[in-house]
Amino acid sequence: MVKKMSKLARAQNLQDLGALLDPFCRENFGVRGCLLYGLFRSYSAPFIRPLTPAGKADALPVNFAVGEGLTGRTFVRGESVIYNNPLANKRFNRDYDDVLHLNPDILGCYPFHDRKHQEVIGCLNLYWAAPRRRPARRRIAEAVREMEPFYRLLYLQREQELLIGMMLDHLLIALEQKDRYTKGHADRVAAYAFEVGKQLGLNPPQLAELRDAAHYHDIGKIFIDEKILNKPGRLNDEEWLAIRRHSVFAKEFLYKHRHGATLLPAIIAHHEKIDGTGYPYGKKREQIPLSSQIISVCDVFDAMTSRRIYRQGQKETAAKAVAALRQGVGCSHPKEIVDAFCAVHQAGLIDLARGRHHAKNGDLRAALIFYRAAKSKAQRCDPGKTDRRLILADVHYQMGAALGRVGQNMRQAKQILAKGLTYDPDNPYLLAALAQAHYFSQELDSAIRVARQAIARAFKPEHWEALGLAKQISGLAYALKNQLPQAEELLRQAMNIFQTLGKDEELAKIYDSYGNVLLRACRFAEAEVFLQYSEEIKLFHQDMAGLAITYGNLGRLHTYLENYEEAISFFKRNLAIAAAVPDHRGISLCNGYLARIALARECYDEAEEYLRAGQAAAGTPLGDFFACLTGIDLSLVKADLMAAKDGLAAAKKLVTQNKLTRFSVLIDTYTARIFSAEGRHPAARQAIESALKFSHSQHNQYELLPVYEAAGDIARAQGDFLAAVRFDKTARRLAKQYGLPKVSRRINEKINAEARRKN
């Protein structure tokens, strides 16, 4: 046994171990298959994920929470369990417990412990067919125990690598704060280097290493005085010497860490020149690693084509930069690398990367200029070239997605994406972006249909991001169609994918959408947790526009809970950001919400002020719609029935013009209240009953409670006190069920007042 165990010890990481375990367990335990699960940590909570089994390298990520399925339960219980006939167990979950579809007759779950922190960090599942011979439990338990220290080592190593990766990213952010002229430099050089490496035929692990080295190539600048980094004009000799030391400084923290140490040689030599005149060591051609030579070319190109303090903010055109690179052939750079760079540049890939960079920073105009340049270069490329179509598809994807993200020019975005699909019909990224464009155009069914196509075509690891986006979009579309269970499921899957990918910013968006869906399902406590996760991430990344959205959602949450002080504070924070941008839609929506709160607190003058401020901002159909409703509320308070009716007509018009049919319940409720105020009681009754029926048929918890409350008020106005109490009691029950103590107390007072009146 020990001899065989040593085979496993060859594993360098958890993935390796997963692959080596399979033959080991088949041979030793007579299993049909096995699967190793590991504990992972994302921003919010730990989750479990199978470690890629052998031969299933492109299996899609299946993440689940600690406690879910039989496997997830092992992480909680911390002891090994053998299940006979697991498929009949009601806790069994096919997606989590039987990822490989082995349909076991016996399933054994064996946990791995980190005893120091008293935590289960992994689990080995063994799958047996009907036992010809019983698995020797003791022998298996012994083997697992023997494996445990080894597994723990690999696990800790992975945790450490993740931590150091995070630390490096944070250092890079700090560096960009210190040296504002290098903002985005690391990203761009990494993108260029990746393309050049591909052109030179590097394999995927080499490419990943090259990209990382390029990304961190200037990290040593963190040790250099801010005054020198930002000094305009020429540097004196001493300052110049200080700057030149940045490539060596990277050593200070990278050499201690396995992954960092592999990047070091490439980083240290990124300012060496092939004729030996570079720094820090004056190495010559053969002594300089290939990746340094690539990074050096990309670094020079980016330095020339972006604003730099020492050139008084001047930048060169790409053509001049390429010419300068050509001039340096033989002394600074080797010919084959400059040639590769030029080929990549001519294919449009450098422009594409530059466009992507601007799009990421929210500069759509600059992004589109580069995308158009990339497109015309790619079109001029040799038509026989196989990846020409792929490049063109990618350009169209980037253009369409950039337009789609800002939520304007949807028609143009859709056209561009459809054109992209003619180059690469099965491209899941194009399909996901098209689904998004449909979603933003309120074409929910088309969005779901196209997203489904994207999901069906996203089956490779490099498609995960598209898969996540497609699931997110269809989740959002279902949410708008009030099909909340589907929405929740899809958004959860999207969340899992982005957790696996470690994409914080995307994750934050999903937390928002997910929080929103939970809000509409009246699961307020859960909603708050996810919205807070989102807030944390956005605060860290200084994503102000994103924060405004989260604050708006938190404001709505607290409005519902009738925590008006908190709600006002969140809306005011949202408003401050919206006013700074300025974002008219945000301004109008925020003022609308603030007006509604003022109304609820019976501060009518204040409500009117907010309402006017919101109307002045002239936002979107949605903002205008809610402003109309608030206007009706105010008119009803002032008993101005004419104004209320005008408001209702305007609201109805907005609903039909903008396909806002999901608000028909609100329209019915307001119609009923106006009828009631006019004394037309039967008509009011009919309208409110239609609203109730519709809310029930749509499982729309979010609107159910206010509709019951309105129904109670209308019945009371009509003098039907029995019905009023019945409606009030239902409303009170709902408020209790949703965990809204203030609301249920308020309704309770109404019911008590009714009882007192009777006596």
Return residues touching Fe ion (CB under 5 A): 218, 299
CB of 211 to Fe ion, least distance (A): 14
Query: How many residues are present in the chain?
Result: 759
- Tokens matching residue 756: 């007192």
Nearer to Fe ion, 195 or 299 (CB): 299
Three-state SS for 733? helix
CB of 350 to Fe ion, least distance (A): 16
Residues 543 and 505 sit within 8 Å (Cβ to Cβ): yes
Nearer to Fe ion, 245 or 726 (CB): 245
CB of 186 to Fe ion, least distance (A): 8
CB of 267 to Fe ion, least distance (A): 9
For residue 629, the number of C-alpha atoms closer than 13 Å in the C-beta half-sphere is 23
**CA pair distance 103, 97, nearest whole angstrom:** 10
Q: Of 346, 431, 338, which Cα lies nearest the Cα of 385?
A: 346
DSSP assignment of 127-175: EE-S-SS---HHHHHHHHHHHHHHHHHHHHHHHHHHHHHHHHHHHHHHH
**Gyration radius of the chain's alpha carbons:** 31
CB of 294 to Fe ion, least distance (A): 13
CB of 256 to Fe ion, least distance (A): 21
Nearer to Fe ion, 110 or 249 (CB): 249
Nearer to Fe ion, 299 or 424 (CB): 299
DSSP assignment of 166-230: HHHHHHHHHHHHH-GGGTTHHHHHHHHHHHHHHHTT--HHHHHHHHHHHHTTTGGGGGS-HHHHT
CB of 230 to Fe ion, least distance (A): 15
Nearer to Fe ion, 308 or 372 (CB): 308
Nearer to Fe ion, 246 or 732 (CB): 246
Helix or strand holding residue 414 (H, E): helix 410-423
CB of 204 to Fe ion, least distance (A): 24
DSSP assignment of 487-545: HHHHHHHHHHHHHHHT-HHHHHHHHHHHHHHHHHTT-HHHHHHHHHHHHHHHHHHT-HH
Residues 79 and 111 sit within 8 Å (Cβ to Cβ): yes
DSSP assignment of 645-688: HHHHHHHHHHHHHTT-GGGHHHHHHHHHHHHHHHT-HHHHHHHH
Nearer to Fe ion, 218 or 488 (CB): 218
Nearer to Fe ion, 218 or 535 (CB): 218
Nearer to Fe ion, 298 or 715 (CB): 298
CB of 496 to Fe ion, least distance (A): 36
CB of 302 to Fe ion, least distance (A): 7
DSSP state of 44: S
- Tokens matching residue 106: 């016996």
Q: Of 348, 475, 450, 447, which Cα lies nearest the Cα of 399?
A: 348
Nearer to Fe ion, 299 or 583 (CB): 299
